[in-house]
Chains A and B, each alone.
Chain A
Amino acid sequence: AQSVSQHNHHVILSEAASLELGCNYSYGGTVNLFWYVQYPGQHLQLLLKYFSGDPLVKGIKGFEAEFIKSKFSFNLRKPSVQWSDTAEYFCAVTGVHNDYKLSFGAGTTVTVRA
């Protein structure tokens, strides 16, 4: 069975601070990895994804994530956050050979103070 663990439940930081959200997954095979974001009052949307190739992937709004296979991790980073980054962030995993079943982590709420 696949599962995702997100280390932080709630992160509070000031504008211009750097952000890193931890994500570890459990799956006995090759994976596809995702970060989704849910801004207040909006629906979930894809932030970035990793399927293969360069383990450092870049997404929208200056976010990036690094896949470290040996650590089963896919941490999300942003060098300098803005107030508009306030949202809930979800890490998700699916197996390459079972890509229809996507499993999500519990989510991390990020609050950016102006």
Chain B
Amino acid sequence: DGGITQSPKYLFRKEGQNVTLSCEQNLNHDAMYWYRQDPGQGLRLIYYSQIVNDFQKGDIAEGYSVSREKKESFPLTVTSAQKNPTAFYLCATKGGSYNSPLHFGNGTRLTVT
């Protein structure tokens, strides 16, 4: 069953701790994305990767880091430098053809206290 798996669904951390969100896909898509969703602000792009071992900053990359060592995986680390880390994080993938839409995972809700 092809798809995008984000785990865990809910994550709680103390302020000052780094935390890594998992995103795994078996769609064989080259491109992967991380978005942050906040009420009233929609989805904002954090990082994206068009191919293995390469990634680019999105619009709000500060305080986040990513890696793309495997095609299937694109983990996002929320560092202690991120001032407002509590949010809903969405991972997405995109197929290689020009008109491919984004496919989204079910998201991880991170709460930092």
- In the complex, what distance in Å separates the CA atom of A105 from the CA atom of B106? 19
- Interface size of A by Cβ–Cβ distance < 8 Å? 23
B101 touches A34 (CB 8 A): yes
Interface residues of A in 70-114 (CB under 8 A from B): 90, 92, 99-107
| A99 contact set on B, CB distance < 8 A | 98
Chain A interface main SS type: strand
Q: Count of B residues near A, CB < 8 Å?
A: 24
B35 touches A51 (CB 8 A): no
CB distance A104 to B40 under 8 Å? no
CB of A106 within 8 A of CB of B41, answer yes
Q: Quick one: which of B45, B50, B92, B107 contacts A103, CB cutoff 8 A?
A: B45
Question: In chain B between 48 and 77, which residues have their CB closer than 8 angstroms to a CB of chain A?
Answer: 48, 50, 58-59
Asked whether B31 lies within 8 Å of A46 as measured between CB atoms, the reply is no
Other than the known A44-B43, A45-B104, what 16 A-B pairs have Cβ atoms closer than 8 Å? A44-B92, A51-B98, A51-B99, A90-B43, A92-B43, A99-B98, A100-B31, A100-B50, A101-B48, A101-B58, A102-B45, A102-B102, A104-B35, A104-B42, A104-B43, A106-B40
